[in-house]
Amino acid sequence: MSTLLTATPGQTVGPFYGYALPFDRCDELVPPGSPGAIQFHGIVTDGEGNPVPDALLEIWQADADGGIPSATGSLRRDGWTFTGWGRAATDDAGHYSFSTVLPGSSTTGSAPFILVTVFARGLLNRLFTRAYPPGDQLANDPLLNSLPAHRRQTLIATQDATGLRFDIKLQAGDDETVFLSYPGHRP
Amino acid sequence: MTATPTINSDSASARQADVSNEIRAIESAYQRSGVEETQPRLDYAPYRSSVLRHPTKDLHHADPEGIELWTPCFGERDVHPLESDLTIQHAGAPIGERIVVTGRIVDGDGRPVRRQLVEIWQANAGGRYIHKRDQHPSPIDPNFTGVGRCLTDDDGNYRFTTIKPGPYPWKNHHNAWRPAHIHFSLFGTEFTQRMITQMYFPGDPLFALDPIYQSITDQKARDRLVATYDHDVTTHEWATGYRWDIVLTGSSRTPVDEGAEH
């Protein structure tokens, strides 16, 4: 393997992204209420359990059949094309919400998940995590199995009336959401 | 002590000297440690808002799989070429120093990030953002919004025309000022490379005082966020030019995968 170049450092998204990054229907991977649509939502909280009203989340996921989306058009949604990517800011109560579909499994037997990226004022670099819909395949998932039981729960979304609920705890001791680093990442 | 400055009710209580001492203490501990860091610390108390918002557990290693090995696709449908010029979005020309900012985006293996989305946002020449939470007494420029987008070309190059942003005050501590910067949002060839950062301008006198810039404890790493003045980018009687190249983290996909896209 070639020597890796050193990556440019990240920085906080800061407080003023609100007029720049959100765009029309950015949180609608599919139109709300369309067949198969679910709400993927939750609350982002800080180390005192208070809501974080200035976080920005992105999700990136397979389609309902496990296919990797390759269509353009996320920034100019036509309501028909599934691009697999969306963006949502938290509201004053720390709540975020996406309209999407349950991801199918991309690899036979593996547990599907929604990849979630968190940006916020006060957060000096982005955080990655996975939101797994509940299901039988979770027992065989390598990542979940590499975690102690109480930490594993933080990555499993819960079913509710409208879809999936996935709360994100930036700082909460043992209840803190598990955040991920990947092989190319360095401190 | 004499002439204590009047502290507004909305100002944090710490003085710059206190924050600067904290910054220096963390940097000397870092230098003694001998272990190189390349990214900002998430837990960096001089940036007060980070105190309750950083994870206390170590990041958990994940081998990327499925969707993580891919990235959203953007195209001409998403971004109009004129969105890369922040100086032509209104009826008149914005106030300030017109600049061109350009550079090349590669992944950790040096491969260009082709036809990928780059988003920027910034304050105007007076250091004011178009945002309801930015209320400091500097004028809004009716001819400047401060938001741009572009797609990289086939060699990973991006290019924006804009106005040099001003420094601006914030409430981290008393008399806190951010060095002038442009926010950049970047995608790579797989989603694990997603990042948001800030580009700074060379020689800014506020660097040493700024806890966000200093949250990167290593000087070489901090330097990677500072653009270079480039007279070859500067254009006759029109705009001065800055170059800022960006390296994303290494990708897990092989060059064979990459080639298969074309």
CB atoms within 10 A of CB A160: 12
Closest residue to B42, CB basis, from A74, A106, A125: A125
Q: What is the pLDDT of residue B137?
A: 84
Please judge whether A115 and B55 are an interchain contact, meaning their C-beta atoms are less than 8 angstroms apart.
no
Q: Quick check: B262 contacting A, CB < 8 Å?
A: no
Q: Quick check: A150 contacting B, CB < 8 Å?
A: no
Q: What is the pLDDT of residue A90?
A: 98
Q: Quick check: A64 contacting B, CB < 8 Å?
A: no
Give pLDDT < 70 ranges for chain B.
1-12, 253-262
Of A77-81, A159-163, B133-137, where does mean pLDDT reach its minimum?
B133-137
Rounded Cα distance between A120 and A118, Å, is 7
Instruction: Map residue B108 onto helix, strand or coil.
Output: coil
Rounded Cα distance between A89 and A26, Å, is 10
Q: Quick check: B130 contacting A, CB < 8 Å?
A: yes
Q: Which of the following is catalytic: B47, B158, B168, B200? A: B168
pLDDT at A99 over 60: yes
Please judge whether B61 and A128 are an interchain contact, meaning their C-beta atoms are less than 8 angstroms apart.
no
Q: Can B129 be counted among the known catalytic residues?
A: yes
Per-residue pLDDT of B153-176, as tens digits, reads: 999 999 999 999 999 999 999 999
Assess contact for A119 and A143: CB atoms under 8 A: no
Rounded Cα distance between B148 and B115, Å, is 16
Instruction: Report residue A45 CA to chain centroid gap.
Output: 15
Q: What is the pLDDT of residue B132?
A: 74
Rounded Cα distance between B154 and B105, Å, is 11
The predicted model scores a pTM of 0.94
Q: Please give the full DSSP string across A74-139, using - where no structure is assigned.
A: TTS--SS---SEEEEE--TTSEEEEEE-PPPPSSTTPPP-EEEEEEETT-SS-EEEEEBPPSGGGG
Token pair, residue A117, equals: 């990226």
Per the prediction, chain B carries an average pLDDT of: 92
Closest residue to A83, CB basis, from B57, B65, B72: B72
**Average pLDDT estimate for A53-68:** 97
Q: Can B30 be counted among the known catalytic residues?
A: no
Residue B29, CA distances (Å) to A41, A123, B32, B207 in order:
41, 22, 5, 19
Rounded Cα distance between A92 and B133, Å, is 13
